Amino acid sequence: MQRQREGSPWTGLGAVFERELADNLSSIRMRLLELIVFIAGSAAVYSAIGELKDTVGEDRFLFLRIFTVAREPLPSFLAFLGFLIPIIAIALGFDAINGDFNRRTMSRILAQPIYRDAVLFGKFLAGLATLALFLIALWLYVMGLGILMLGLPPSGEEIARGIAFLVAAVAYGGVWLAVALLFSVLLRSPASSALSSLSVWLLFAVFWTMIVPFLTNALVSVDPFDPRTQLTAIEVALALERLSPNTLFAETTLALLNPSTRALGPLLMSQLHGAIVGAPLPPIQSLLLIWPQMTGLIAGLVVLFTLAYVAFQRQEVRA
């Protein structure tokens, strides 16, 4: 018996993508979140620029500092984004699949001559596109504010690093979008899928850094007289921390927006031999440095999406 199904899984993808994108862009919850992010972002950037004007005399990467510098009581723009991107992504995805079941539109859509693949891909891509559009707009807004308030254009290198940062931000958002999508497939109630996504986010955003030391202690016994065990402990802790997409994103942005970052793990004195401390790396070296982190983010996104895909394919259509 022929086990292969016939016809392209992409049939209807464009239609689903466009509908979902229109839906995302016009929904009230997205408008609200955009408003919050623009207000928070403006405040953070404004105070960062104020801080820069007061403290920095000369800096090669003045523009990148806008993203990272904070002035009390506001956090930096970067900290804001690290916090808000997951929330936006979850808001985009938590009712993607179960919403259609609850509206009773799912069986009608799936009775059209399309595969389920098109529905899931279309929804995910539309979420990702919304996120990307939003981040690009925000990025341009920050750059514009910077040019107006600092009176300086960004250098080519700063723009290159800024774009790489944008890509990383979209990948980071994509991971959380995939988390939300997975829960929207697994749980029938949008409220519980939203809460589940948010609790996973809370785990990584707040509690993960507290849990890691305990786990490390349990896994590695440190001998105070053997520096090698100490090094192992640090490496294990780092590996555990990097299971969190938040850590991966934080490391990526650190290397991209702080060109003087040379390493994201422990450095031995011997490795620093001959290095000029504080000298910036060229952009390509920074990219090399964060390559594993970026790969990790994208791999996480793919794995989560695959889980959602498999679960959705096996799901019964009747509600």
Q: Helices 116-150 and 283-314, interaxial angle, to 10°?
A: 150
CB of 315 to another protein, least distance (A): 10
CB of 115 to another protein, least distance (A): 7
Radius of gyration of the chain (CA): 22
Contact flag: residue 16 with another protein (CB under 8 A):
yes
Within 10 Å of residue 118's Cβ, how many Cβ atoms?
22
Can you tell me the distance from the alpha carbon of 58 to that of 160, in angstroms, rounded to the nearest whole number? 21
* 16/294 with CB nearer another protein: 16
Contact flag: residue 114 with another protein (CB under 8 A):
yes
Q: Which stretch binds another protein (CB under 8 A): 6-14, 149-157, 206-214, 299-307?
A: 6-14
Can you tell me the distance from the alpha carbon of 250 to that of 293, in angstroms, rounded to the nearest whole number? 10
Q: Count of alpha carbons within 13 Å of 136, Cβ hemisphere only?
A: 7
Asked whether the beta carbons of 69 and 75 are under 8 A apart, the reply is no
Interface characters, 300-319, with another protein (x: CB under 8 A): ----------------xxx-
Count of residues interacting with another protein (CB under 8 A): 28
Among residues 63, 67, 77, 115, which is the contact residue for another protein, using CB under 8 A? 115
CB of 313 to another protein, least distance (A): 11
The length of the chain is 319
Find, among 242, 221, 241, the residue nearest to 232 by Cα.
221
Site for another protein in 79-108 (CB under 8 A): 103-105, 107-108
Among residues 54, 111, 279, 284, which is the contact residue for another protein, using CB under 8 A? 111
- Interacting residue ranges for another protein, rule: CB under 8 A: 2-7, 11-12, 14-16, 19, 23, 103-105, 107-115, 316-318
